[in-house]
Amino acid sequence: MKYEVQYKGSYAILRIMLPLGAEVLAEPGAMVYMRGPVEIQTSTGGIWKALKRTFLGGESFFMNKYLSKGDAEIGVAPELPGDVEVVQVSGTLYVQSTSYLASDTSLDLDVSFGGFKSFFAGEGIFLLKLQGYGDVAVSSFGAIKMLQLEPGETITIDTGHVVAFDGSVTWNVRTFGGLKSTLFGGEGLVCEFRGPGRVYIQTRNYPAFVEWIKSLIPRDTGSR
């Protein structure tokens, strides 16, 4: 199975080439087109895991599996304008809920509870957890960038810009500076990561963008 990210940048689409017998799992609603003999199987992937994905991880209850019956290809794309990156998983990868797009069926998709330290800017206290060996396609709001951390190296990232990170990375969420900086500095919560491992970030902040849109909507004062 081969992947090709087309139109990288603002409006990326992932082209997945499927030889006979190949299969891939994708987020419902992500499919843009299909070419060739492809069978679609919609399932929960297990009731308990589906319930956790839906109510805890913010994902769909059902997942779509695309099974090739010959030489075929499908194109998938995220809802938000931004980039797509295919990440190789060798062990564990954590992905914030709005960034999962598609993955190899060899990877186990679950939801992980990280305690209150994983409160990602309104995204909830749960992250999608992928385990095994294979590829996963993640999407970003804006461009996507991979940061490689050496053992013991640390980096601080605004929580609204986090896309995914390796299970080998340790992390902690804290306020940005003191109380005054948190309330008036425009940052809020930040996440501190410590290597070794990869951290993927996005150049735009989805929760901040939503709040900006809300600020443009006229408010109903109730006066006539």
Note the pLDDT of residue 197. 97
In a domain, 221, yes or no: no
- Over residues 83-142, the pLDDT tens digits come to 999 999 999 999 987 899 999 999 998 877 554 444 454 444 468 899 999 999 999 999
- Give percent of the chain with pLDDT exceeding 90: 54
How many Cα atoms sit within 13 Å of 54 on the Cβ side?
13
Q: How many domains does the chain have?
A: 1
- Over residues 149-159, the pLDDT tens digits come to 999 999 999 88
State which H helix or E strand residue 181 sits in.
Answer: helix 179-184
Structural domain boundaries enclosing 182: 2-213
pLDDT grade, residue 3 (50/70/90)? very high
In a domain, 67, yes or no: yes
In a domain, 39, yes or no: yes
In a domain, 68, yes or no: yes
In a domain, 44, yes or no: yes
Output the domain CATH number for residue 32: 3.60.160.10
In a domain, 222, yes or no: no
In a domain, 25, yes or no: yes
In a domain, 218, yes or no: no
Q: Convert 50-81 to b/e letters by CB count within 10 Å (16 or more is b).
A: bebbeebbbbbeebbebbbeeebbbbbbbeee
Whether pTM > 0.85 for this model: the answer is no
The C-alpha angle 14, 18, 139, rounded to 5 degrees, equals 20
> Hunting for tokens 């299969």 — which residue is that?
23
> Hunting for tokens 């990232």 — which residue is that?
157
Give, in order, the Cα–Cα distances in Å from 148 to each of 9, 38, 138, 166, 195.
20, 37, 17, 10, 8
pLDDT grade, residue 183 (50/70/90)? very low
Give yes or no for residue 27 having a pLDDT over 80: yes
Q: 191 has which bridge partners?
A: 157, 173
Give yes or no for residue 211 having a pLDDT over 80: no
pLDDT grade, residue 22 (50/70/90)? very high
> Based on C-alpha coordinates, what's the Rg of the chain?
19
